[in-house]
Amino acid sequence: MPRPLGELEDAVMTRVWKWNRPVTVREVLEDLQQERTIAYTTVMTVLDNLHQKGWVRREAEGRAYRYEAVSTRAAYAAALMNDAWSQSDNPAAALVAFFGMMSEEQRQALQDAVRIVQGPETRQAPEAAEPWPAQAEQQENPGSAEDAGGR
């Protein structure tokens, strides 16, 4: 499981993920400098650390390197969510609490993702879809998320 990225690591990885191509220290530096004062050597060190941690691969280009993401931001976010969920002593309650924090758009995206994972034979038309258990429970019983954990 990946350890969460630090603030500067995340700022660097955001650019690497967004650009979705091999990048140089100079490119990342110039983009970061639009937001903050930062030295070339700092960005170089962060990219080297990200390489050592397995977040980026690098290929030599002259005396410098080009860095490329090993996985996507989505995969990183999924790994963080999976780790947090697996550390819960009550995974069902944790999911109910998580669903309760979601906006309607996020719940719809989750429903769409579940349909994709389940495959075409279990897909329903959006208007025929049942509400998520967390939504139904919130409508019927506005109690705490912990109440659902023992079910």
Q: pTM here? A: 0.67
Q: Extract the tokens encoding 54.
A: 């397995």
Residue 97: count other Cβ atoms within 10 Å of its Cβ.
17
Cα 10–chain centre separation: 11
Bridge partners of residue 61, in order along the sequence: 64
pLDDT (tens, 9 = 90+) of the chain, 151 residues, equals 567 899 999 999 999 999 999 999 999 999 999 999 999 999 999 999 999 999 999 999 999 999 999 999 999 998 888 888 889 999 999 989 998 999 999 999 999 999 999 987 654 555 554 554 444 444 444 444 444 444 4
Residue 122: count other Cβ atoms within 10 Å of its Cβ.
9
Residue with tokens 């499981």: 1
